[in-house]
Chain A
Amino acid sequence: MKITPELTQKIADLAQIQLTEDESIYYASELAKIITSFEELSKVNTEGIDPLINPLFDHKEFFAHYQGTRPDEVQESLSTQQVLKNAPSVESGQFKINSFVEE
């Protein structure tokens, strides 16, 4: 499995992390080592095996009869001030960022 700096750059783009050229070489090498070691998994026979995502998902007693849900009731939200307290930039009570064109 060849992890090239180019592929690494594409992955970084998907993850929205900027990499310098040196970094893409470094991470390519790191990722390659790690991913190569994962290839041992391909030898394991998993025919007909259900994936395990969360150890509670098999235990219906925890979510049968709407147990994992909440009633449709409104509770107090944060104040606008609290919402914006950690915001890097604010204008007119909203989060401000560079202009972008809507898709």
Chain B
Amino acid sequence: MSNAQYEVTIGLEVHVQLSTKSKIWCSCAVKTMAQVNSTVCPVCLAMPGSLPVLNRAVVEKAVLASLALNFQLNYQSFFDRKNYFYPDLPKGYQITQFFTPIAEKGFLELELEEGEKKKISLERLQIEEDTGKSQHASTGSLINLNRAGTPLIEIVSAPEIKSAQEAALYFKTLCDTLTFLGVTEGNLQEGNLRCDANVSLAEVGSKKLGTRREIKNLNSFRNVEKAIESEIKLQTEILSQGGKVKQQTLGFDANTLTIKVLREKGESSDYRYFPEPDVLPILLTEDDVSALKKKMVELPSEKRERYKSDFELSQYDASVLTQSKELALYFEEVMSLYKGKAKNAANWIMVELLRFLNEANCSPKNSPISPANLAELLLLIDSKVISGKMAKDVFEKMYDEKKSAKALVDELGLSQITSEEAIGKLIDEVIQKSPQQLSDYRNGKDRLFGFFVGQVMKLSQGKANPDLVNKILKEKL
């Protein structure tokens, strides 16, 4: 695929479901798994006479997101109506923020390869509401309004993204940032984040942007990348054959990896935006914002920096440990109790713990081995109570039986033998049993040292401390 003559320009609009307990305009629960039409009230059903009342937590989460994304807050912002008819939109309009959103002019920093960083400008962050869901059968379409009124923030990027990979990275970075912040659950399978991608191509060196097409409702990092790749290919074909790209709205079939045209943009929607008279303006004070600033948490990019500088971990290790909020918090909890070498903790978590957790599809939050337990295990290894090899067996037992390291070590009598006297006795016993090897060794067969080590370890059932064995054996042989 040669698109060397074309420069790609991508802008992304991401809709994020906020992790509040109740909906934006009413007190119905925000629940993903609920029986159809069971979290619906006169307000989200848009019954005659119903009125929207704003959920305070929505404003707070929107402000937190704005702060984390380096936005300028509009201390007074307003709501507007976006008018259109659709079966999953019971009011016949969506309450959104069109004219004066809560935040404008922010940026998101992407961590590219080789430590390179790139800032993507963000145009706006606005508060709005989600629609209901429809299901299609041969006899008709069915509407479930449970999701109607779920609070959303929409984040619009500037058209500064330059490749499909960058777009996927942007989506992932945004998702991680907002999940760590506690503003969203960040569960893509449940549709917590959805992305619309605007893609246009222009000849390299051209000052104008090409006509863009919009791919709607991409719901995974992979889909974002694949969809944009396909779209770039399609547009390149059109343009290189001398054709013109039409302003169209597209959908992406994730199964067949194909782009399909949903509608011609020209024939859409005059949304007749006008100020929402039913909702009072949002008015933030300095005190409100200061109070929220105190709730700011360390963001994933900040954690990675800290892990590299304070814990001397590599970029790779830092990235793995910050793959989810739960894992990062798990690691930090371990470190607060262990206080030893971070690399040790990191290795055990990244290799051993993750292996078990992934197999069991378990979140670090629910890990059978608590951070305290893992910290204890690491301390036992460091103080040489058990060897590294033994620790692996103990670890597996800890996971299966949910017992602490110390309890298991005691129970199984696994403590390493560290008394020089005891080791001396074991060595004496082995030497006694192996007179031939002894004389061979003393006559120059140095390799037999390993034999004696092995015999001591066997006799001690692996519990003898290897370093001490070496030391004392040297003395005695």
Contact = CB atoms under 8 A, between A and B. Distances in A.
Direct contact of A and B (CB under 8 A): yes
Interface of A: 14, 16, 51, 53-54, 56-57, 60, 62-66, 68-75, 77-80, 83-84, 89, 91-100, 102-103
Given A16-B85, A99-B138, 6 more contacts: A51-B275, A75-B27, A99-B136, A99-B137, A100-B136, A102-B134
Given A62-B280, A94-B143, A103-B263, A73 B272 contact: no
Contact of A74 (B21, B142, B249, B280): B21
Contact of B140 (A68, A80, A91, A102): A91
Given A94-B142, A97-B87, A99-B140, A54 B53 contact: no
Given A69-B56, A70-B53, A72-B56, A91 B142 contact: yes
Q: Which interface residue of A64, A66, A71, A77 has the most chain B CB atoms within 10 A?
A: A77
B144 interface: yes
A74 B37 contact: no
Given A69-B56, A74-B21, A77-B41, A96 B141 contact: yes
B28 interface: yes
A95 B277 contact: no
Contacts of A53: 275, 277
B188 interface: no
Nearest to B287: A65
A89 B143 CA distance: 11
Pairs of residues from A and B, 4 with the lowest C-beta to C-beta distance, nearest first: A72-B57, A68-B280, A94-B142, A75-B27
27 contacts: A16-B85, A54-B275, A57-B281, A66-B56, A69-B54, A69-B55, A70-B27, A71-B56, A72-B56, A72-B57, A72-B58, A74-B21, A74-B27, A74-B29, A75-B28, A78-B42, A80-B35, A80-B38, A83-B37, A89-B140, A94-B36, A94-B142, A94-B144, A95-B37, A97-B143, A98-B140, A100-B134
B36 A92 contact: yes
Given A93-B37, A97-B87, A14 B272 contact: yes
A73 B45 contact: no
A83 B59 CA distance: 28
B177 interface: no
Contacts of B28: 74-75, 77
Nearest to A94: B142
B135 A70 contact: no
Contacts, number: 130
A70 B53 CA distance: 7
Interface in B18-55: 20-22, 27-29, 35-42, 45, 53-55
Interface residues of B, number: 52
B169 to A, nearest CB: 28
Contact of B40 (A16, A66, A78): A78
A78 B21 contact: no
Question: From DSSP, what is the main secondary structure of chain B's interface residues?
Answer: loop
Given A92-B142, A95-B143, A103-B263, A84 B55 contact: no
B136 to A, nearest CB: 6
B267 to A, nearest CB: 11
A53 to B, nearest CB: 4
Contacts of B22: 72-75
A72 B55 CA distance: 6
Determine chain A's interface SS by DSSP, over half rule. Answer: loop
B208 to A, nearest CB: 29
A63 B283 contact: yes
Contacts of B279: 68
B262 interface: yes
A65 to B, nearest CB: 7
A97 B37 contact: no
A97 B90 CA distance: 13
Nearest to B151: A72
B270 interface: yes
A54 B277 contact: yes
A11 to B, nearest CB: 10
A65 B41 contact: no
B280 A56 contact: yes
A100 B141 contact: yes
A53 B99 CA distance: 13
Contacts of B270: 14
A72 B61 CA distance: 12
A34 B270 CA distance: 22
Interface in B157-211: none
A51 B57 CA distance: 29
A69 B141 contact: no
A83 B45 contact: yes
B366 interface: no
B285 interface: yes
A75 B262 CA distance: 39
Contacts of B288: 65-66
A89 to B, nearest CB: 8
A80 B57 contact: no
Contacts of A54: 275, 277, 280
Contacts of A14: 270, 272
Given A14-B270, A69-B59, A103-B262, A80 B280 contact: no
